[in-house]
Structures are given as C-alpha cells and as structure tokens.
Structure 1
Amino acid sequence: MPQKLSVAIITLNEEANLRRTLASVQFADEVIVLDSGSTDSTLEIAGSFKNTKVFCEEWKGFSQQKNSAIEKCSGTWVLSLDADEELSPELQTEIRLLLIGEPRADAYLLRRRNLFLGRWIRYGGYYPDAKLRLFRHHAANFAPPARFTERPVHETITFEGKLETLHHDLIHHAYPTIESYIEHMDRYSTLGAQIVIERGKTSRSWMAFYWNIVAVPTFTFTWNYFFRLGFLDGREGLLLHLYHSTYTSWKYAKAWQTISKR
C-alpha cells in the first residue's frame, strides 16, 4: 500500500516561483504552504492547487518556520521544498515508485541542480548539490523526529536512521537575475555573520581581518573556479564564483563590523 506523502513549503512573496513548484508535486497526498505575510498573489496561487492547505504565521526564522510547516504535515513521509525548487519529471516518478513499497532508508538526499541566470551550473562544486529533503515524518524505534537545526541561515535537517541518495534531480531556480543574487547575498551575509560571531571565528586583529576579508575569498574563488573547473560554466560560472567569493568577504566584514562596535 502506498505511503502517504506530505510536502512542506514556506513562502513570502513567491508568485514568480510557486506555481512551478506546486505543479511538480501534484502527485503528493497533501501540500502544506506556510506563508509569512505575502503581499503579492502567492496565497491565491497556493489556493488554486488541489490538496494544498495554506497557513499564515509570523516569520520566526528559516529553521523554525520550516519546522512549523513540517509539524502541520500528516503524511508518513515529508518532502521539504523551497518555493524556488521543483522536482524534475524523473524525480517525481522515482519518489512515487519509492513510496509504493517499503523504502529501505529513513531519509533521502536529493541531487540538486542549481540554475544561475538560467544556466545549469555543473562545475565548481555546485553539482550534485545533495540536500536532505525527503524523510519519514515520525522515525521508527522512538527516535527523535527529523527537524531543521536552529541557525540563522543555511539550515540543515538532523535525523536518526539510514540515509540514501535518490538518482534524479531537484531543480533549483536560484537566481534568475544578478540583482536577485546580490540582494540575497547581502541578506544571507548578514545572517552568516551571526554564525561567524557565535562560533568565535573573527577577531579585532589586523591579521585575522586580512585573512578573512581578503585571503579566504581569494582562495575560495581560485579553488572553485580553477581547480574544481568552475570556468567550464562560461560567463555565468565566472560571475557566480566571483560574487560568491564577494559574499564570503561581506560575511566576515559584517562580523568584524559588529564586534568592533562592542
């Protein structure tokens, strides 16, 4: 007997992405959309799809918001997606077939295909960008349920049990424009600076300042663009690796700025 699948998605002004995402999970038994105050047509789009339940809550941070969406799921299995992701047709079929029987694992990594300016980024460490997204809602043997860890950004799922990887791709429509990438990196570098400070990875010394603001970003670009073959992704690859190294510099600069004011 097929096992029930719930999909959990958090949203905020995702009218440009949500229709595509929901269309790719119409085989699921239910879809939970947890919105945090959209002012565009996100809620109308969500309500137009079958088996979709829409909830609204104030923003609590990425981890808490995603965990709240998971808690509203009633399925045996949960698929957690971002609103700018979609399942490839091959992955849709693979998940359907997986849940017809008894899956061998308790959680599954999905191979993520990242798009930047519309181009699939294949090199430089960006593919396969495996993410744990499919998992049993309630683990066996009284193990703690799978949940996102508490951190400001780049949250990950913790669970107990057997982990495997599916064969087909989750497509991430990450940054369709340079402007959207810069806006995200500005916001994420602020959140990343909080993590840097909490881990004690910054200081007021000139040597640490130079290392984190200049040396680490330069090494990051050189390693990913040249040694991990990022240059094979053309102009888009150059821009992505250049701006990603800039994000690294911003993150440490913001951390330094914060501690220097104390």
Structure 2
Amino acid sequence: MAAPRGTARRDRGSGPGLPPLQRDGLPLGRGSVFALHAGRDDGDGDRGVPRAAPRTGRERRLSAREAGSAREPLSVLVTTKNEERTIRACLESVRWAEEVVVVDSGSTDGTLPIARSIADRVVDHEYENPAAQKNWALPQLRHTWTLILDADERVPPPLRSEIESVLADAGREDGYWIYRENHFYGRPIRSAGWQRDKVLRLFDRTKGEYRPTMVHEEMVLRGREGFLRERLVHEPYRDLDQYFEKWNRYSRWSAEDLRRRGVRASGSRLLVRPWLRFLRMYALEGGFREGRRGMVLCWLAAFSVFTKYARLWEAETRDEER
C-alpha cells in the first residue's frame, strides 16, 4: 500500500499554477494503429455453430479487471524511438492495464511491429524533447489515471499489485512517486546515489503536466503526493555505445537549459564540478561498494558533468565570435 505524503505540489523546483489539462482526449492521434488480431477456425468440425470472435488484448484486460475488485481504470503511456531491445519487456509488464499507448517518434528498427502486437494504440508524433512529447500525449489517453514509462523500464509484479491497490483506494493521493531499481551492466546498483532515484509517474492526468525543460523533465502536480514502496525496474544503458549516444544528445539539451537560466561555463564549473560529482558518488554515497562497475559508473557521471559545461562553453564561444 502506498505511503501518503502531505500536500507537496511539484516534482522539483517551483512554478506558476498551470491550467487544467484536457479531460477527454482525442480517440486517435496521427498515425494511430490498433493492434487487432484476426481469428481462425479451431478445426473441431462444429461448423454449424456461430463462434464468438477472439478477444483483443484490450478486451482480455478488461475481462480480467471485471473479474476482480473494482478500481479506477489505468492508461499507460510509453514514448519510444528505436527501442526494439527493451520495448517488448516494457509493454508485457503492463498488459494488465486497461489501455496501453505507445507514442513513437520515427523508429527505424523493429520497435513498431513489437509495439503494434501488444499495445492498444501506436501513435506517431515528431519528437522535440521529453517534456513536450509527454505533454502532447497526455490528452490522447482515454483514462484519467495514468502511468508513464520509458521503454527501458518495466513494472514487476509487486509494483503492479501496489498500483492496483492504490487505484482501488477511494482515499488515494493525486499522484505517486515511484523509486527505481537502476541496473548497470546487468546488475542493480544499490549505492552511488542511484538507490534514491525516484520519479513521479502515477498520477491523475487532469492535475499534472511536465515543465518545459529539454532534459530531466519535471512533473508539476496540482494536488497531494504519495510514495509507492515497490520499485520500478530501470535498465538505462545496455553498453557504453548506448551511453555515449544518449549523452551526446542529453548534453546538448542540458547546455540549452543552462543557457536559458543564465548559467555561464566558468573555469570552476569545467574543472571542479566533475571532480565533485565523482567524489560524491564514489566516496560519500558508496559507489566504491559496487567494485569496478561502480567506478566506471561514477567516472561516467563525472564525464557527463564536464561534457554539459563544455557544450555550454562552446555555445558561448560561438556567440562571442558572431
């Protein structure tokens, strides 16, 4: 069961009040696809008796829910681009939800066939940044209560049970933080600060939306917040190639966010902050307990800080040369 937590109103930071989100979203977005499966003959020879059409994945989920205790229906939103290695496990982990929607931004690998075989809808939408993609998608959902996942996350059975208990509780909060069990090279990391990682992902979508940042999108919730006890499994990097590919993109976005806030790429930020990040994660927060895996993780985190400020310095230098 979830642990309630006061009346805090945002993911991080502060901001002005936001207008209520649209309650009744569009039934379909551009490029939407329903994953329907054609039936076939059993071959038992009883051809004179009409047969009921095989049920779709959504009908099976609704039937399972009706057989159990009544609760609020749930929409699950997953955003994707070239996620063929992880999308199946992600979607399979939430087949029990009443609606599963995938919003894709131009995948060229096998993501779309997998998504269409499991999700209720697959919608194409041009990608701008994580926050903008999710804010566009939220009004497209059928149900008020929403769970947002990245394609490299999955809901284990204990978390599913806790979510269903929350949705059956009339006294629930308006949104819930979920701690993540972060994996690195096949093992969960239980130190280096990763053990405290949490995200606000289960919420009443009429009371929240994402702040318009380029990276590390932040949910602003107008209502009461609680915490779930069970963890969301997160496997962000399968190898270093994927890490550097992601960070090449994220470092540009992070530098843009810093520029908007008026932050400058001073020498101290370029030189000192990467070292401070490594020392904090490795020494103070126990990253050394993870062995070489922890050392690599902490150095990568320090490198990401340096790269972010190097990108900011590059942008400032170009401005001065104009």
The TM-score range, normalised by the shorter chain, is over 0.9
Q: Extract unaligned runs of 5+ from structure 2.
A: 1-69
Encode CA deviations 1:169-203: one digit per residue, 9 max, x unaligned: 10111111122112212221111111111112215
In structure 1, how many angstroms separate the alpha carbons of the residues matched to 2:145 and 2:254? 31
Does 1:166 find its partner at 2:228? Answer: yes
Does 1:221 find its partner at 2:278? Answer: yes
Structure 2 match to 1:87: 155
Structure 2 match to 1:120: 188
Structure 1 match to 2:300: 243
TM-score when normalising by structure 1:
0.92
Does 1:28 find its partner at 2:97? Answer: yes
What is the letter of the counterpart of residue 224 of structure 1?
M
SS of the aligned residue for 2:231 comes to strand
Q: CA deviation at 1:104?
A: 2.1
Asked whether the 8 Å contact 2:90–2:154 carries over to 1, the reply is yes
SS of the aligned residue for 1:3 comes to coil
What is the letter of the counterpart of residue 23 of structure 1?
E
Encode CA deviations 1:21-58: one digit per residue, 9 max, x unaligned: 00110111001111111111211111111x52111111
In structure 2, how many angstroms separate the alpha carbons of the residues matched to 1:228 and 1:71? 40
Q: Extract unaligned runs of 5+ from structure 1.
A: 139-144
Paired residues for 1:113-192 under 5 Å: 113-138=181-206, 145-192=207-254
What is the letter of the counterpart of residue 73 of structure 1?
L
What is the letter of the counterpart of residue 77 of structure 2?
A
What is the letter of the counterpart of residue 62 of structure 1?
P
Q: CA deviation at 1:60?
A: 2.4
Asked whether the 8 Å contact 2:152–2:234 carries over to 1, the reply is yes
In structure 1, how many angstroms separate the alpha carbons of the residues matched to 2:240 and 2:171? 41
Percent identity of equivalent pairs: 36
Q: CA deviation at 1:76?
A: 2.4
Larger relative strand fraction:
1
What is the letter of the counterpart of residue 256 of structure 2?
Q
SS of the aligned residue for 1:22 comes to helix
In structure 2, how many angstroms separate the alpha carbons of the residues matched to 1:89 and 1:237? 28
Higher Cα radius of gyration: 2
Asked whether the 8 Å contact 1:152–1:192 carries over to 2, the reply is yes
Asked whether the 8 Å contact 2:166–2:172 carries over to 1, the reply is no
CA RMSD of aligned residues (A): 1.2
What is the letter of the counterpart of residue 102 of structure 2?
V
2:264 to 202, 211, 233: 202
1:7 to 67, 72, 76: 76
Q: CA deviation at 1:103?
A: 4.4
Structure 2 match to 1:102: 170
Higher normalized contact order (CA 8 Å, seq sep 6+, divided by chain length): 2
Q: CA deviation at 1:83?
A: 0.7
Structure 1 match to 2:310: 253
What is the letter of the counterpart of residue 239 of structure 2?
T
Q: CA deviation at 1:112?
A: 0.5
In structure 2, how many angstroms separate the alpha carbons of the residues matched to 1:198 and 1:213? 18
Q: CA deviation at 1:2?
A: 1.0
What is the letter of the counterpart of residue 5 of structure 1?
L
1:44 to 110, 113, 121: 113
In structure 2, how many angstroms separate the alpha carbons of the residues matched to 1:68 and 1:41? 24
